[in-house]
Amino acid sequence: MTEKLTQPERDSDLPTLLDNGWTHDADRDAIAKTFEFGNFIDAFGFMTRAAIWAEKWNHHPEWSNVYKTVEVTLTTHDVGGLSTLDLKLARKMDQLIG
């Protein structure tokens, strides 16, 4: 059963993501990041590769794409806030952009 992040998990895991351009939306208990690419194909390719991981982990982003920009919000709907799945997917997205 997916659980909400504990405070110790937040203290240890969130800072690195925040340093990597993620922001924390306290109201939703979600993290968000805007990814900018060189062109539309690179942006869509990022979404395609991230989608494969999202489906594999059964954990899906809330995201939108306009031309070279992909806006991502991650939260776990089943628990109404952040879980380790959000952190895992965020780290994977950061890994995909190299």
Ligand X SMILES: C[C@H](O)[C@H](O)[C@H]1CNC2=NC(N)=NC(=O)C2=N1
Interface with ligand X by CB under 6 A: which residues? 58-60, 76-78
d(CA 94, CA 61): 14
Q: In angstroms, give the least distance from the CB of 39 to ligand X.
A: 28
Task: Name the residue nearer to ligand X (CB basis): 79 or 96.
Answer: 79
Partner residues linked to 63 by β-bridges = 72
Q: In angstroms, give the least distance from the CB of 96 to ligand X.
A: 17
- DSSP structural state of residue 47: H
Task: Name the residue nearer to ligand X (CB basis): 35 or 75.
Answer: 75
Q: In angstroms, give the least distance from the CB of 68 to ligand X.
A: 24
Strands (E), 1-98: 23-25, 30-36, 62-66, 69-74
